[in-house]
């Protein structure tokens, strides 16, 4: 690196907000690579996912969090607790609000609870591509009336509009200190867990209604082949035989399409040929089993 030693900055930035506001899309845009999965469905992000990037002399470690909402089931409670603890442990907190959705009850409750967060708070109004300017200004005002934000940004995480300005401002605010990760590292997750997440994203995108929430994916083996390709075996766990049939689809049609989408994306990320083998197994009530959350890295 050409950055003089002793002049560097480094910090953790928690990205929090209601479900589906674009937190994961924003973290990917800030990092400039897919490190966390995105879908139009809530509860896509289940654990804290770190995306790492360098801006000037600052290393920014973004912590993508599960959406904050009123939890009903056990897995949901664990996800919300994890999201708030992510905010409390970070150097800076970024609250993402869906500008189209505005300051509805759920969003207002999160803004109010941010008063308990001691770190500098940045407000990010996302999805500005869907909203007219006067409404944006009114929303920024209304949110800042509830709690004072250090900065307010209006961006589109999807198009990248406004993202570099946000990154520069955050880079100036993180504490002075040495970088914690190698310069080229973009995620702290092992490749095999990102690979499992990518398959889980395809499940979210291909399947409807409740099913994706009830499934999980694990990478069982990862074998580099002599010809330069990699052989990856994964298991998709569902809770019932009927769900297994849905994931397989008629004549294996659904699983084939999930596998082919996941394989293509993995090959692009790894820049090597990928042979992906997917298995679908029934593991009853995994989502009610606390042992399973611990394996996933969720907190209570």
How far apart are alpha carbons 154 and 123 in whole angstroms?
A: 8
What distance, in Å, lies between the first and last C-alpha atoms of the chain?
39
Flag whether 129 is marked binding: yes
How far apart are alpha carbons 223 and 233 in whole angstroms?
A: 9
Q: Is 24 in the site for Mg ion (CB under 5 A)?
A: yes
Helix (H, G, I), strand (E, B) or coil at 286: helix
Flag whether 35 is marked binding: no
How many CB atoms are closer than 10 A to CB 138?
A: 12
Q: Is 65 in the site for ligand GDP (CB under 6 A)?
A: no
What residues from 38 to 57 belong to the interface with ligand GDP (CB under 6 A)? 38-40, 44-45
Partner whose footprint covers residue 86, from ligand GDP, K ion, Mg ion, none (CB < 5 to 8 Å by kind): none
**Would you mind telling me the total number of residues written for the chain in this entry?**
300
What residues from 125 to 184 belong to the interface with ligand GDP (CB under 6 A)? 126-127, 129-130, 156-158
How far apart are alpha carbons 253 and 7 in whole angstroms?
A: 55
Partner whose footprint covers residue 229, from K ion, ligand GDP, Mg ion, none (CB < 5 to 8 Å by kind): none
Residue 235's DSSP bridge partners are 218, 279
Residue found by looking up tokens 């997917």 in the block: 278
What residues from 8 to 67 belong to the interface with K ion (CB under 5 A)? 20, 44
Q: Is 45 in the site for Mg ion (CB under 5 A)?
A: yes
Q: Where is the binding site, in residues?
A: 17-24, 64-68, 126-129
Binding stretches for K ion (CB under 5 A): 20, 44
Binding stretches for ligand GDP (CB under 6 A): 17, 19-25, 38-40, 44-45, 67, 126-127, 129-130, 156-158
């Amino acid at each position: 690196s050409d950055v003089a030693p002793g002049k560097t900055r480094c910090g953790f930035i928690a990205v929090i907000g209601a479900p589906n506001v674009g937190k994961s899309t924003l973290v990917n845009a800030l990092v400039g690579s897919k490190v966390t999965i995105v879908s139009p469905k809530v509860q896509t992000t289940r654990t804290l996912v770190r995306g790492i990037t360098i801006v000037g002399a600052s290393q920014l470690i973004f912590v993508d969090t599960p959406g904050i909402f009123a939890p009903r089931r056990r897995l949901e409670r664990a996800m919300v607790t994890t999201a708030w603890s992510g905010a409390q442990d970070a150097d800076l907190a970024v609250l993402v609000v869906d500008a189209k959705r505005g300051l509805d009850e759920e969003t207002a409750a999160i803004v109010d609870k941010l008063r308990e967060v001691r770190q500098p708070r940045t407000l990010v109004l996302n999805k500005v591509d869907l909203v007219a300017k006067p409404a944006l200004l009114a929303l920024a005002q209304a949110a800042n009336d509830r709690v004072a934000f250090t900065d307010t940004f209006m961006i589109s995480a999807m198009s990248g509009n406004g993202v570099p300005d946000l990154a520069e401002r955050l880079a100036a605010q993180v504490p002075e200190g040495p970088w914690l990760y190698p310069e080229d590292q973009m995620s702290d997750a092992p490749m095999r867990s990102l690979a499992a997440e990518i398959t889980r994203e395809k499940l979210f995108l291909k399947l409807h209604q409740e099913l994706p929430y009830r499934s999980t994916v694990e990478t069982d083996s990862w074998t580099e082949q002599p010809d330069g390709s990699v052989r990856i075996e994964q298991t998709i766990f569902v809770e019932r035989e009927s769900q297994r049939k849905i994931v397989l689809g008629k004549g294996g049609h659904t699983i084939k399409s999930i596998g082919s989408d996941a394989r293509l994306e993995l090959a692009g990320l790894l820049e090597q040929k990928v042979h992906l083998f997917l298995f679908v197994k029934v593991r009853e009530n995994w989502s009610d089993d606390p042992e399973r959350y611990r394996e996933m890295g969720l907190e209570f």
